[in-house]
Amino acid sequence: MKENFGLYLILTDPVAGYEACAEAAVEADLRYLQLRMKNTSQDEIIRMGKRIKSITDGTRTRLIMNDSLEAAMACDADGIHLGQTDRSLNEARKTWNTPGKIFGLSTHSLEQALQALELSPDYIGIGPVFPTQTKMDTDPVVGSQEAGRIAHEIPISSVVIGGIHPANLPKVFQAGATNFCVVSAVNQSPDPRLAIHELQQMWKSHTF
């Protein structure tokens, strides 16, 4: 069954601080909060993961760790998001054989999305929708229309990602996608509560 949750927030070097952003995400009742710390030691990622998990515990907000299964297990996160070149999803499931954990997988085309179905992820990421500066090793831009088509055709939950901000978010909704991920739109804001609120209000006005 497809989930309709709106904003999926990735935390990467937030100007307001990781914990402040995590608290804002919990207050806004976001479904997913992903910790993505690049060029950082594993120990530091685990330390921050544990701090954020203490904030999300007992709430509806699920902490997802990016890439590192070891970090996800060490801080007892709610799940992990894997890329196409990361550890295989099947291997991750066998290693982290704990009931209820969430496994997400990035896809960059309809072909990859269809192949992902064979692995039964809990959700897939679709993108990059637009050009983005938050990742150096980006795949070719998918475009809002194609991302929306993939999201519509794939029978599992999905979230579109890549270069999404308030100005182009309406294009994402018009193309048929309902769940979207942002990085800069919240991480670069000194007021994450306001940034999250504005994004979720845009989602609600287009989907309800």
What are 118-131's pLDDT values in tens digits? 999 999 999 999 99
7 contacts 24 by C-beta, under 8 angstroms: no
Q: What is the pLDDT of residue 150?
A: 97
Task: Give strand ranges (E) for 90-165.
Answer: 102-107, 123-126, 157-160
Give the Å distances, CA to CA, from 25 to 93, 144, 173.
27, 25, 21
pTM of the model: 0.95
Structure tokens at 184: 């800069």
Residue 183 pLDDT > 70 = yes
Residues 200 and 75: their CA atoms lie apart, in Å, by: 28
**Structural contact between residues 197 and 9, judged by C-beta atoms closer than 8 angstroms:** no
Cis peptide before 131 (omega within 30 of 0): no
> What pLDDT shows up at residue 162?
96
Residue extents of the structural domains in the chain = 7-207
Per-residue confidence (pLDDT) for residue 138, from 0 to 100? 66
- Per-residue model confidence as pLDDT tens digits over 60-77: 999 999 999 999 999 999
Q: Residue 139 has what pLDDT?
A: 78
> Residue 137 pLDDT > 70, yes or no?
no
Strand partners of residue 157: 123
CATH number corresponding to 7-207: 3.20.20.70
**Per-residue pLDDT reduced to its tens digit, 65-115:** 999 999 999 999 999 999 998 889 999 999 999 999 999 999 999 999 999
What is the reported pLDDT for 92? 97
Which neighbouring-strand residues pair with 107?
Answer: 126
Specify burial of residue 190 (Cβ count, 10 A radius: 0-12, 13-18, 19+): exposed
Asked if the model's pLDDT at residue 206 lies above 90, the reply is: no
Q: What is the pLDDT of residues 1-39, one digit of tens each?
A: 899 999 999 999 999 999 999 999 999 999 999 999 989
Q: Is the pLDDT of residue 135 over 80?
A: no
